[in-house]
Structure 1
Amino acid sequence: MEKCSGKSVQGGVAAARLRFLRPVGQQTDVPAGTPEQELARLEQALRKAAEQQNALYEQTAAEAGEEVAQVFSIHAMMLEDECFTGPIRDRVRAGESCACAVRASARELAAQFAAMEDEYMRERSADVEDIAQELLAALAGDRPAEAAQAEPFIAAAEDLTPSQTVRLDKKLLRGIVTRGGSSNSHTAILARSLGLPALVQCPGVGPDWDGRMAVLDADEGTLTPDPGPAELAAAREKAERAARQARELEQLRGLPNTTRDGRTVEVYANIGGTDELELASDQDAGGVGLFRSEFLYLHSGDYPTEEEQFAAYRAALEHFAPRRVVVRTCDIGADKTVDYMGLAKEENPALGLRAVRLCLSRPQFFKTQLRALARASAFGSLSVMFPMIISAAEVRRCKELLAECCRELKAEKVPVGPIELGVMIETPAAALCADELAEEVDFFSIGTNDLTQYTCALDRQNAALEPFSDPHHPAVLRLIEMTVQAGHRHGCWVGICGELGADLTLTETFLKMGVDEFSVNPVSILPLRGAIRRSSAR
């Protein structure tokens, strides 16, 4: 039987017809008008495409969370960026049609990104191609055909763009298969956030498979076209079994996260902003274990003001009061940058001026955030944690700046509530000096994504390194256990907020280590709660 294999990025089974999707914006060129006419068409299309990207941001934030939706904010900013639009306008002024100018300029810019050494920057070439397709579609007035399907389907493509992926009808979409892509592609991230079975790097599937019934078994990493009655029945039974398990998990809402031997832990949500508060509540989060405050900066064209930040933090605290909300201070740098900060280009940004290092090098910038957080503390249960800490001296400096802000606010007669302080453990240095750090704070939150990257010296943005990556590497697990033990020696509670927190094969291992809290993507909360209740902590 014909079958193809790929790399699973989200488990599960689906049986449905395949729809092989092609890029949008491939319309036939129309004759170019005068440069003035073409420029007017271009400006109208830029506005339309930007409006659509903003709409896709809102849709994605509601469906999958603000972190996943971030790409559309970037796309909208690209449509206003002279680096992207300037060469297009120059070509139009020289007599080219809008469509030709967009294709040629996007091709050149995408090639520049693709030639860069940094893996994250190379992957931005896909964003250029995506936004170019969206601009071409706006010029032509067409919309992708895949936006409306009549029956359940499995989406297949060379490599789905973020815009294509989000427009798929989620009520009928049963799974995703791409010939290219990686575990860190936008398609993979969205599939995980929606809980859809998905394969990437599956070269056997092609346009000639369009319309064929198929079984996608992402647990096994296979796609089987034209299954026989027995294979189809088995796949549907497996999918129904998974659906029954999901319904059983719904029964856990409101119940404590207690292991079989009587230990109770907290299960919180990771969120990227206030747009995800309802999603976290809907999934029965016990609180927020990671509020990624950097998205306030990434979604702004200039430094967010104290008032803007205060409003966001207050909204989160009031929404979950009296439950805990843990806000991570600004984690800009490395793969998350904004032009208005004027950060210098670095040869190795993952080891550069990022997170708390950036904040401590710009104390007034940092104090704006700390003042906003201190003001918000009066409206709920606030915990603040500092990222990329490698020494107790850094923690003490952060505490000094926060104390300075609190004194200023009290002098201004502004109420300030109690603030619990913590640090992220995401470098080997932090794990190895956890005893010293624990003397300065109330809690630790282990960021397993960066801890794995820095411990194993593997760039997590580099798809070529996936064969060498082992998320269960014994060195990483030992550092996690050391951190838990050190924290408990000094009275700190210890949580996990990285992707390993949602890895159910490690849940019992972490419980036996003594982990007190898990903070995960909202859609992972109920499965994790089920795993905790099936586990023993001894």
Structure 2
Amino acid sequence: MEKIDVKVVSEGVAIGKIRYYNDVKLNINRFEIEDVSTEIARFNNARIRAKEELKEIYKEAVNSVGKEMAEIFEVCQLILLDEEYVNKIKDKITTENVNSEYAIYLVSEEFSERLKNSDDIYLSDRATDIKDVSNRMIRILNERENYVDDHRGEIVIFDEVTPSEILRVSKSEGIITKVSSGMSHASIMSRNMGLVHVSGISSLEKFAGKIAIVDAYKGVLYIEPDEAILKYYSELGESEQEMIKDILSTSSGKTIKVMANVNSYEEAKIAKENYSDGIGLFRTEFIYMNSDKLPTEDEQYNIYRDVLELFDGKPVIIRTLDTGADKRINYLDYSGENNPALGLRGIRYSMNNKDILLTQIKAVYRASLYGDVRLMFPMITSVEEIGFIKNIISEVKKELDSENIEYNAVKLGIMIETPAAAMLSDVLAKEVNFFSIGTNDLTQYSLAVDRDNALVAEFYNPYHEGILRLIKLTIKNAHNENCEVSICGELAADINMTERLCEMGMDSLSVAPVMVQKIKKNIRKNE
């Protein structure tokens, strides 16, 4: 048995056979080209195809790790549009008469080194993004297909790992890298996915095929562990899994649900596999986005019923259509808006399109016979809006009664996403059964910062004391009216904030499906 100290990137315990990540070796040999214009066209084609691949990976990542983490792949797309990067590659091809693969490799190495040597930690940690993009183009030029494997039961080793590689080995037991910065996109992704990750080992290849245990709590790697060590960690892993299967209780006796944010039935299945205590946010706008027309009542009913049956009595919170701002649906009309973020979005859109809302609520009530379904409405800022919702629900019930269609009682909730809603939470809590605090929009609207605008990104701070005070106030006001409170958004997924949110008294967290286990383990650890 060999015991090696390692650097912890993402905590956990992994047991498996080591597999050296042997992706198709890329051909980056230098050779002279016959025609520059043909070679430039070849490079441009690879760049276009790489961008299309990254768009598809972005969609996949939204489903598996959530929109925030998926934005990493939008950053990679921007690299392909960077004029300095693209023009340097073209200049290299033109002035040195070399093939695209070699030009991409040289320029990418230059850019990566420049980033690694930057005094700005954020920039230095973006070097692997350049590698991700360059490898993708070179693979396309080599006419190689994407390498796909399952990696279950394996601990995968890399020299240096990229974000897209993290996605491709997400079902592995864990990963080991020679080098890794704690703030690289790949490292952030492995933590957010709850993937065990350690680094700081040279000569990894010699361990390929051997059984290993990674203790990413203590920072230890065991190669070919003896029976006693193997037994200890196997039992530890089983014990950890048993502890997180059910709803957790804190040392004070308060129960904390850890639920999942999902966009589809497929994501709901991932949430269940990760021992989610329910669905804390079903983003139904994706049902609309994935269709070329408004989904019918029956189509929606079938989806909601399937998710409810999957969760077998656990709560499933369905948020009504939240469109507008950055969530636009091709066949809906958004004309005449100069500032969409402050325009017709969330409940405001539904109030202007009553028939769409009525159809959706009717589908939810029909599905209520199959489980604990709850309705949640976005961007609520007033009691009058809740009154509008209750009138629609009354209409739906009358229709169902007239059609002799049975339904169960459905709990009503709203999202707290604006300072106005937070300050009015004592009044709003009297009208509903639960709140979900959307920390991303609450931060954006409280700090007057567009979170998608790179020019003001440094001012977007969900940890701002003003935001935390609004959250605490909302929880206090809600509990005074026996109204439950869930936290979703960036803060909910931050394990460093879990303890403070528990202290504030929140009742549940709602995070990406792959984060559920990690958050549950963190709550257990802090008891």
TM-score range, shorter chain: 0.5 to 0.7
Give secondary structure in 1 for the equivalent of 2:452: coil
The equivalent residue for 2:298 is 307
Q: Which amino acid aligns with 1:267?
A: V
Q: 1:72-105 deviations in whole A, cap 9, x for unaligned?
A: xx9xxxxxxxxxxxxxxxxxxxxxxxxx9xxxxx
Matched, 1:460 2:462: no
* Aligned counterparts, 1:90-239, within 5 A: 142-144=144-146, 152-154=156-158, 156=160, 166-167=167-168, 171=172, 174=175, 192-193=192-193, 195=195, 238=219
TM-score in terms of structure 1 length: 0.64
The percent of aligned pairs where both chains have the same amino acid is 32
Answering whether residue 454 of structure 2 is matched by residue 450 of structure 1, we say no
Instruction: Report if aligned partners of 1:293, 1:330 keep a CA contact under 8 Å in 2.
Output: yes
Q: 1:277: how far off?
A: 2.3
Residues 471 and 500 in structure 1, CA contact (< 8 A), matched pair in contact too: yes
Q: Choose the corresponding residue for 2:466, options 472, 475, 480.
A: 475
User: 2:388 & 2:434 partners in 1: Cα distance?
Assistant: 17
**Residues 274 and 316 in structure 1, CA contact (< 8 A), matched pair in contact too:** yes
Q: Is the 8 A contact 1:391 1:437 kept in 2?
A: yes
Aligned partner of 2:283 among 292, 310, 333:
292
Residue 413 (structure 2) aligned to one of 399, 413, 422: 422
Bigger shift: residues 142-151 or 395-404: 142-151
Partner of 1:320 in structure 2? 311
- The alpha-carbon deviation at position 52 of structure 1 amounts to 12
Q: Distance in 1 between matches of 2:25 and 2:449?
A: 33
Which residue is 2:332 aligned to? 341
Match of 2:508 among 517, 520, 525: 517
Q: Which amino acid aligns with 2:496?
A: T
SS at match of 1:480: helix
1:360 lines up with 2:341 in the alignment: no
2:114 corresponding residue in structure 1: none
* Alignment gaps of 5+ in structure 1: 1-7, 33-41, 75-99, 101-129, 200-210, 215-232
Residue of structure 1 equivalent to 2:432? 441
CA contact (8 A) 1:19 1:156 kept: no
Distance 1:60 1:379, change over 3 A: same
Does the CA contact (< 8 Å) of 2:26 and 2:142 recur in 1?
no
Q: Does the 8 Å CA contact 1:268/1:287 hold for their aligned counterparts?
A: yes
Residue 251 of structure 1 aligns to a residue in which SS?
helix
Alpha-carbon distance in 1 for matches of 2:311, 2:218:
39
Equivalent residues of 2:277, 2:314 under 8 A apart: yes
Matched, 1:501 2:501: no
Code of the residue aligned with 1:238 in structure 2: it is G
Residue identity opposite 2:195 in structure 1? G
Q: What is the rounded CA distance, in whole Å, between the counterparts of 1:298 and 1:332 in structure 2? A: 10
1-side partners of 2:285 and 2:25: how far apart? Answer: 32
Hey, what does 2:207 align to over in structure 1?
none
- 1:480 CA displacement: 0.8
SS in 2 for 1:330: coil
Asked if 2 retains the 8 angstrom alpha-carbon contact of 1:155 and 1:173, the reply is no
Tell me if 1:431 matches 2:422. Answer: yes
Q: Which runs of 5+ in 2 are unaligned?
A: 1-7, 36-44, 75-99, 101-131, 205-213, 223-232
Tell me the CA shift for residue 432 of structure 1.
Answer: 0.4
Alignment root-mean-square deviation, CA: 5.1
In structure 2, relative to structure 1, the CA distance for the partners of 1:452 and 1:322 (3 Å cut) is same
Are 2:367 and 1:386 equivalent residues in the alignment? Answer: no
| Structure 2 CA distance for partners of 1:179 and 1:419, relative to 1, 3 Å | same
Q: TM-score, normalised by structure 2?
A: 0.65
